[in-house]
Structure 1
Amino acid sequence: MNLPKLAYLTGEYPRASDTFIQREVAALRALGHEVLTCSIRTTGPEHLVGPEQRAEHARTFKVLDAVKSPLRLMRAHLRCMKRPARYGAALKLAWQTAPKGLRGRLYNLIYFAEAGVLAAHLADEGVRHLHNHIAKASCTVAMLASALSGIPYSFTIHGPDIFFEPHHWRIDEKAARASFVACISDFCRSQLMCFAAASHWERFHIIHCGIDPARYAPPDHAAKRLLFVGRLAGVKGVPILLDAVDALRGRHPDLRLTLIGDGPDRAALESRAAGSGDHVRFLGYRSQDEVAEALRDTDVFVLPSFAEGVPVVLMEAMAAGLPVVTTRIAGVPELVHHGETGLLVAPGDAAALTGALDRLLSDPAERAAMGAAGRAIVAADFDIRKEAARLSRLFTTYGNGGPRPPKREEQA
């Protein structure tokens, strides 16, 4: 089969918090696709936490770096202007889809400038399809680059924040113009359907983010160690978790909580946890291998978020044979089955979170049973190789004009 050469675009690539994109790219390359990675901005050094990130960073085309060259910017747009009708239509699209106000118009003109440079680069590289992750500003650039170049594009939509401002980001227009949209869950797909015309719904497919289950080994001990992995920001609900740990310390004096990740709230959270002594420790960002090692040294994984898509870190924890305690929101119940692979609680409910953690910390046998069930679910439905194969077939089928695939292929 002649596999199309792909380009992947996102706002920053690679990032320590978006390792699922790296896994998807690697899996597509393993299937035989040539994948050119592109990033709007240059990733900060704090995200280059392992050899995989550093290697991907070195080979990634940085759009803004190229735009900063006036000569390159001018040449790219003069090249696009050789098709004046297409160029004019793309410029009109940038103007019509801009957020309201002078600032919104200005930003979309900047995105249009970036799109011209990206379009020229894709043409030079012989790219046949452009795919975007995180359907916000970078997806606007992808849509405009497609309009300028004629190269078809698609995108993966995650949520939840994109659905907070769907009109600002014009996900209706992006979905209408895309060859197809990969939705990470049925819940995510339903949210997109709220804003997109019904005539486009059949092009919205379910492609899970995925992991390599073989990378994660079940724990070989029974203790009382909790692990949180995520961005240290308000949406993750970490203060609720710290309250729960404080409430549990009397009943479980050997309880330990480790937090991996960084973010704007780290200093405040560290100050908040200072009274917990060595019961709580913050490690900052860690590489994929270091996260896998931390999971092997954990007994219960906890993620008390207020808003999520389908967290990849929950997949990693379940693949490591851990029971998970998390919140009953968005697409999470499509991954975590309450009472079978973990426990779901109401978001923001410290008492419910405390009770769920107490239940699992007090019952090693239930932890082991839930961990085994979770590992089986991830292997069946969230294996990155299977998901990449599904995505590859979408690229090929839509590129060749074949019969439209179902919402989600049962076999991959």
Structure 2
Amino acid sequence: MRDQTSTEMETATPGVSRPAGPVAYVTGGYPKVSHTFIQREVAALRALGLDIVTCTIRRPPPSEVVGAAQQAEAARTFGVLEAAKNPLHLLAAHARVLARSPGRWAGAAALAWRARSDGLKAGLWQLFYFLEAAVLARHLQRTGAVHLHDHFGSSSCTVAMLAARMAGLPFSFTLHGPDVFFEAHRWRLDVKIAEARFVACISAFCRSQAMLFSAPEAWPKLHIVHCAVDPDRYAAGGRDGCSLLFVGRLSAAKGVPILLDAMAELAVSHPGARLALIGDGPDRAALQAHAVRAGLSDRVTFAGYRDERGVAEALAGADIFVLPSFAEGLPVVLMEALAARCAVVTTRIAGIPELVRDGETGLIVPPGEAGALAGALGRLLDDAPLRQRLAEAGRAAVEAEFNLAHEPAKLACLFAGDAP
């Protein structure tokens, strides 16, 4: 069994339930900058005294592993495909699992067949997941893991479910959405929820979708465990009353064209308003062209990628954070913005209203409506006391409900088999 480091042992928190051995975490790509919240969760669980063994199906490219902390985490993370690409290693993993428990290996094969989706291509992918699962199962046996946990519920979760069956371990997963809900049958959420010891749902909306795709007898295992941030990492800085900020991937789901149209509407009534967009993505060139056509070249800045510290610094100087998304789970960046005491404008979709309560911790507008978005932004630009009231209430909401000091302890209890 893997030993806990002295730091992990020294920072263990009394009174928090902990499992009897290591808990393995797996995702499709870990660690990487876009999923820093998972790394924070892992660090918080280690601080609670849990021994967390990190695994990744594929290693992210070096450009997505940023900073010394992520590089160190990458070095201690087991790569499944990296090992599976060696045919001898792959065959040896299956042989060892089969020799140790032929019944579990056969049970995993039957589960893989039952959990496949329609079509030949899907069946071939299921075979690949089954092959990868033995490599992960063998690693779990070597580390003495007592539980396996996945994030997201899609392909890595399929591998996790099969690996846990081969290794004779319970498994669980954190369900985010929205993409997995769009293809619930493809990813066989019904089977995964039925097989899991528990499912951590990031919002009540997320839990409702899990209920939609599972049998009622499985509903008691659906628990709300929020993604979370450390509010102390975020503080307000100097603000000028006209700075707007967007942080996110420049892709269709984020609704940035609507934001640019709203900025064009604000040009006359609020000529001093300025928007910075942090992030990159496939739509960047098209969005830059959109901004030029709309006459926004001197009002909108495409700042590109920024690391965690850079985002925190940008939030400290922003008066208003705006996220006009069409599809989300419950964005961590909204938690960060509220923690930094930004007034927030976002859309009424998925779990967002559970964090941003309209008129209380921010303003919410219908998705896809540039006029409504421009109206909400103009309202905040005109009303500094309203911005301040929303900002303070938003910070308090994050401290109370989306705090890294509280949420990981719920997971620790679930890993130990207790109710959080």
The normalised TM-score by structure 2 is 0.93
Q: Which residue of 2 aligns with 1:34?
A: 51
What is the DSSP-based 3-state SS (H/G/I as helix, E as strand, rest coil) of the residue aligned with 2:406?
helix
What is the DSSP-based 3-state SS (H/G/I as helix, E as strand, rest coil) of the residue aligned with 1:81?
helix
The answer as to whether partners of 1:6 and 1:131 remain within 8 angstroms in 2 is yes
The answer as to whether partners of 1:219 and 1:321 remain within 8 angstroms in 2 is no
- Matches of 2:298 and 2:48 in 1, distance apart? 46
Q: Percent of aligned positions with the same letter in both sequences? A: 57
Q: Which moved more, 1:361-370 or 1:46-55?
A: 46-55
Q: Using a 3 Å threshold, how does the CA distance of structure 1 residues 2 and 363 change in structure 2: closer, same or farther? A: closer
Q: Which residue of 1 aligns with 2:9?
A: none
Q: 312, 315, 330: which one pairs with 1:292?
A: 312
Q: 267, 271, 294: which one pairs with 2:285?
A: 267
Which whole-Å deviations, capped at 9, do the CAs of 1:115-172 have from their partners, x for residues lacking one? 0000001111111111000100000000000111111110000111111111110011
Q: 46, 63, 70: which one pairs with 1:53?
A: 70
- Matches of 1:278 and 1:213 in 2, distance apart? 33
Q: Which moved more, 1:92-101 or 1:300-309?
A: 92-101
Equivalences for residues 66-145 of structure 1 within 5 A: 66-82=83-99, 83-145=101-163
Which whole-Å deviations, capped at 9, do the CAs of 1:354-391 have from their partners, x for residues lacking one? 00000001111111111001000100000012000111
Q: 80, 89, 92: which one pairs with 1:63?
A: 80
Q: 204, 219, 222: which one pairs with 2:237?
A: 219
**Aligned letter for 1:145?**
A
Q: Which moved more, 1:46-55 or 1:182-191?
A: 46-55
Q: Which moved more, 1:351-360 or 1:1-10?
A: 1-10
Pairing 1:235–2:253 present: yes
**Aligned letter for 1:315?**
M
Q: Which residue of 1 aligns with 2:371?
A: 351
Pairing 1:207–2:225 present: yes
Pairing 1:337–2:357 present: yes
Q: 198, 215, 219: which one pairs with 1:197?
A: 215
The answer as to whether partners of 2:152 and 2:175 remain within 8 angstroms in 1 is yes
- Matches of 1:283 and 1:12 in 2, distance apart? 25
Which whole-Å deviations, capped at 9, do the CAs of 1:31-57 have from their partners, x for residues lacking one? 011111111111023322333322222
The answer as to whether partners of 1:220 and 1:296 remain within 8 angstroms in 2 is yes
- Matches of 1:54 and 1:261 in 2, distance apart? 21
- Matches of 2:65 and 2:105 in 1, distance apart? 37
The answer as to whether partners of 1:46 and 1:285 remain within 8 angstroms in 2 is no
What is the DSSP-based 3-state SS (H/G/I as helix, E as strand, rest coil) of the residue aligned with 1:232?
coil
Which whole-Å deviations, capped at 9, do the CAs of 1:37-78 have from their partners, x for residues lacking one? 111111023322333322222221111111111111111000
Which whole-Å deviations, capped at 9, do the CAs of 1:178-204 have from their partners, x for residues lacking one? 110000111110110011111111011
Quote the RMSD (CA, aligned, Å): 1.3
Q: How much has 1:214 moved relative to structure 2?
A: 0.3
**Aligned letter for 1:257?**
L
Q: How much has 1:225 moved relative to structure 2?
A: 0.8
Q: How much has 1:19 moved relative to structure 2?
A: 1.5
Q: Which residue of 1 aligns with 2:10?
A: none
**Aligned letter for 2:57?**
I
Q: Which moved more, 1:249-258 or 1:165-174?
A: 249-258
Q: Which moved more, 1:362-371 or 1:55-64?
A: 55-64
The answer as to whether partners of 2:18 and 2:49 remain within 8 angstroms in 1 is no
The normalised TM-score by structure 1 is 0.95
Q: Which residue of 2 aligns with 1:20?
A: 37
- Matches of 1:296 and 1:120 in 2, distance apart? 46
- Matches of 1:216 and 1:113 in 2, distance apart? 43
Pairing 1:318–2:335 present: no
How many residue pairs match? The answer is 400
The answer as to whether partners of 1:157 and 1:183 remain within 8 angstroms in 2 is yes
Q: How much has 1:221 moved relative to structure 2?
A: 2.5
- Matches of 1:360 and 1:315 in 2, distance apart? 19
What is the DSSP-based 3-state SS (H/G/I as helix, E as strand, rest coil) of the residue aligned with 1:154?
strand
Q: Which residue of 2 aligns with 1:256?
A: 274
**Aligned letter for 1:249?**
A
Q: How much has 1:96 moved relative to structure 2?
A: 1.9
List runs of 5+ in structure 1 lacking aligned partners.
Answer: none
Q: 193, 196, 220: which one pairs with 1:178?
A: 196
- Matches of 2:267 and 2:67 in 1, distance apart? 34
Q: How much has 1:2 moved relative to structure 2?
A: 5.4
